[in-house]
A and B are shown apart, each in its own frame.
Chain A
Amino acid sequence: MTRQAALDVHDLNAGYGRQDVLHGLSIPSLVAGEVTALLGPNGSGKSTLLKALAGLVRTRGGSVMLDGQDMTRLGVGERARHMVYLPQSLPAAVHLRVFESVLVAARASRDALAPPLQLSDIDRLLARLGIAHLALHYLDALSGGQKQLVGLAQALIRQPRVLLLDEPLSALDLNYQFHVMRLLKQETQEHGLISVIVLHDLNVALQHADRAVMIQHGRLHAQGAPADVITPESLAAVYGVQGRVEACSRGLRQVLIDGLNERPR
């Protein structure tokens, strides 16, 4: 089932304290069923954008419209009905079982409108993500990849419309990177989610994302199909590197970096 939905970010200003990180950022329509890769160098405002969308960072002016409803006007609880943000990592030494941690995600805020949760729903979800065998393991005993899958389960049990993932692949090996991206794409399509995922690996974005948004200094640099966004020009302008994008023998595009245009700031 695909719910048609669209997320429009318009003229968003957001930041910490008095300092704005996002400056009038606008992103046209992200649609349901698509995985959007959020790209940009360190400090460009990727995480801030995700947090601002989820309402964890105060926004000053601008709007976040989901199907015509301005999310910035909703309270914490109401907003959480529509969007889930997953930070990069879990705190250390959490003595909770996987099953419980997913249950907590569902029960943390009571939603009178949502259908009541059955414990078997959690089981089915864990099975769908291929981690049913970990249900009774403690979180602090899991590997990084397993933790990311559990995080995904925590997010999905809430049946959000928008899924915001902050660098979920950063600590994962190649196998898990591929696995998580494939699952994410599958869930996004099957449940009509609008998924936005911060990625550092441009090759992963080229291979897996339906769309890419590249930001720099808190402003939109480019957006569109990943192959149109990730170009030698944008690599030079945004990342300060000399790069090529070449098709491999199977037609898959690959980013190759030849050198630096400028020193890291």
Chain B
Amino acid sequence: MPNAASAVSAYRRIVRRRAGLIALLLAAIFIALLIDFTIGPSGLPWRELWLTLTTPASADATVRVIVWDIRLPSALMAALVGMALGLAGAEMQTILNNPLASPFTLGVSSAAAFGASLAIVLQLGVPGIPDAWLIAGNAFLFAMFAALLLDVVARWSGMNTSGVVLFGIAMVFSFNALVSLVQFLASAEALQSLVFWTMGSLSRSNWTTAGVLALAVAVAMPLAMRQSWKLTALRLGEDRAASFGVDVRRVRVAALARVSLLSALAVAFVGTIGFIGLVAPHIARRLFGEDHRFYLPGSALVGGLILSLASVVSKNLMPGVVVPVGIVTALVGIPFFVAVVLRRQLP
């Protein structure tokens, strides 16, 4: 039996190891970003990429566009979307107390895609939102609506895991059907830009969208971290957390707002990219445990790393073609999803 001092120092060692792991993940994301940046259909050599990056003025105009307007923003976007979805998935799994929760599996992303499609095809949106933000604004509203609906159902069904998952699947199908309906009604050009949403692709990233998503992650992450003890307490059960002084209702609604913001922006900018929000929290849980001080940033970083690597893969699947990254994550994610379902004896 270890003496009193040893458990404290062992715990401190565990905490230090987790902090080290976070640093390691950051480094891995940086490397993945570099690789993602250096490959692409144009096959530019490293030297030219580097020169264009350091002295853009002296570079060839085409190369400059490829480097500064395509490669860089889409590489950054991959990491940012992955982080946003990783964080959103982690928070969802905690507040819904559900290992199968993620924006994609429970219909929040589909709802956002429907909101976006209304804006793209029918120009329908909330009055007062400037045209440039119509798509993102609509996506957010529908995502928030879906998230709140999930919350209501989760409480109504007594947090029954299968009940929430079934309801989420129903939402996925309903919103997908609605998106199909909008597609059916859409004109040829609108249809083309809409199809992009259903696949999930980084190719339309630009500095504005990357900047906005970076800002959203930079706001949501610290807000989530401020709640990290309360969120960890929620893992011990709602009643227990409440009796430890956690205002459960408030914590849940704030978390749902963050989930909605992050998944809506991700959907509005790159379309529905599946399974990152599901897979990243599970990996983070294995690496960090469920102390949310590490689990939340861990899940965001794992998400960023996975999507960055998926982006690399999507460029290498077919020579000269960038496959939409959503297809890659779905292909990798589905076996994982099945594994999670099979491993858990759902109530």
In the complex the two chains form, is A105's CB within 8 Å of B291's CB?
no
B11: which of A135, A154, A158 is its contact (CB, 8 Å)? A135
Could you tell me if B8 and A154 are in contact, using CB atoms closer than 8 angstroms? Answer: no
Contact B229 A107 (CB under 8 A): yes
Q: Mark B1-29, 1 if CB is under 8 A from A, else 0.
A: 11011011011101000000000000000
Judge whether B169 is part of the interface by a CB distance below 8 angstroms.
no
A41 within 8 A of B: no
Q: Which of A93-143 contact B (CB under 8 A)?
A: 93-97, 99-101, 104-105, 107-109, 111, 119-120, 122-124, 126-127, 132-133, 135-136, 138
Partner of A91, one of B97, B232, B344: B97
In the docked arrangement, what's the CA distance between A253 and B237, Å? 37
Given A80-B243, A87-B239, A135-B11, are A96 and B1 also a contact pair (CB < 8 Å)? no
With a cutoff of 8 Å between Cβ atoms, the chain B residues found around residue A132 in the complex are 1-2, 4, 7
Q: Is the CB of B243 within 8 A of A83?
A: yes
Asked whether B10 lies within 8 Å of A77 as measured between CB atoms, the reply is no
Q: Are B235 and A96 in contact (CB under 8 A)?
A: yes
Q: State whether the Cβ of B185 lies closer than 8 Å to any Cβ in chain A.
A: no
A90 at the B interface (CB under 8 A): yes
CA distance A81 to B245 in the complex (A): 8
Say how far B188's CB is from chain A's closest CB, in angstroms: 49
Tell me whether A86 and B7 are in contact in the complex, defined as CB-CB below 8 angstroms, given that A96-B289, A109-B245, A109-B246 are known contacts: no
Which of B230, B245, B290 is most buried by chain A, counting CB atoms within 10 A of its CB?
Answer: B245
Contact string against B for A residues 23-59, beta-carbon threshold 8 Å, 1 for contact and 0 otherwise = 0000000000000000000000000000100111000
Is B99 interfacial (CB-CB < 8 Å)?
Answer: yes
B 304-346 contacts with A by CB, 8 A: 344
Q: How far is the CA of A229 from the CA of B10 in the complex (A)?
A: 49
Contact residues in A for B230 (Cβ distance below 8 Å):
108-109
Interface membership of chain B positions 226-251, coded 1 if the CB is closer than 8 angstroms to chain A and 0 otherwise = 00011011011101111111110000
A108 lies within 8 A of B239 (CB): no
Q: Which residue of chain A is the closest to B4 with respect to CB atoms?
A: A123
Q: Which residues of B are found within 8 Å of A252, using beta-carbon distances?
A: none
User: Cβ of A257 < 8 Å from any Cβ of B?
Assistant: no
A135–B6 Cα gap in the complex (Å)?
10
Could you tell me if A54 and B11 are in contact, using CB atoms closer than 8 angstroms?
A: no
Asked if A120 and B243 make an inter-chain contact with CB atoms under 8 angstroms apart, the answer reads: no
- C-alpha spacing A123/B99, complex, angstroms: 31
The chain B residue with its CB closest to the CB of A47 is B239
Chain A nearest CB: distance from B153 CB in Å?
17
Asked if residues B290 and A154 are in contact (CB atoms below 8 Å), the reply is: no
A91 touching B244 by the CB < 8 A rule? Answer: no
Residues A95 and B285 in contact in the complex (CB < 8 Å), given A108-B233, A132-B1, A136-B11: yes
Whether the pair A109, B244 counts as a contact (CB closer than 8 A) is yes
Q: A94-B236, A108-B233 in contact; A76/B247 too (CB < 8 A)?
A: yes
Contact call B289/A123, Cβ cutoff below 8 A: no
CA distance A135 to B14 in the complex (A): 12
A193 at the interface (CB under 8 A from B): no
Residue of B nearest to A97 (CB): B289
B244 lies within 8 A of A100 (CB): no
Point out the residues of chain A lying under 8 angstroms from B229, CB to CB: 104, 107-108
Partner among B99, B232, B244, B289 whose Cβ is within 8 Å of the Cβ of A80: B244
Task: Known contacts A51-B239, A94-B236; decide if A133 and B1 are in contact (CB<8 Å).
Answer: yes
Contact A120 B5 (CB under 8 A): yes
Q: Which of B4, B5, B8, B235 contacts A94 (CB 8 A)?
A: B235
A127 CA / B240 CA spacing, docked (Å): 23
Say whether, besides A86-B243, A87-B240, A108-B230, A99 and B290 are in contact (CB < 8 Å): no
A93 touches B237 (CB 8 A): no
Instruction: Tell me how far the C-beta of B254 lies from the nearest C-beta in chain A, rounded to whole angstroms.
Output: 15
Bound-state CA distance A94–B1 (Å) is 24
Neighbour of B8 across the interface among A55, A107, A123, CB < 8 A: A123
Which chain B positions have C-beta within 8 A of A97?
A: 11, 14, 289
**CA gap between A95 and B299 in the complex, in Å:** 14
* Assembled-state Cα–Cα distance A127/B97 (Å): 31
Residues of B within 8 A of A94 (CB): 235-236, 290
The listed residue (A108, A122, A123) touching B245 by CB distance below 8 A is A108
- Known: A99-B11, A100-B289, A104-B233. Contact between A86 and B245, CB under 8 A? no
> What are some 15 contacts across the A-B interface (CB < 8 A)?
A77-B247, A80-B244, A85-B239, A91-B235, A94-B236, A95-B285, A95-B289, A96-B291, A97-B11, A97-B289, A99-B11, A104-B232, A108-B241, A123-B5, A124-B4
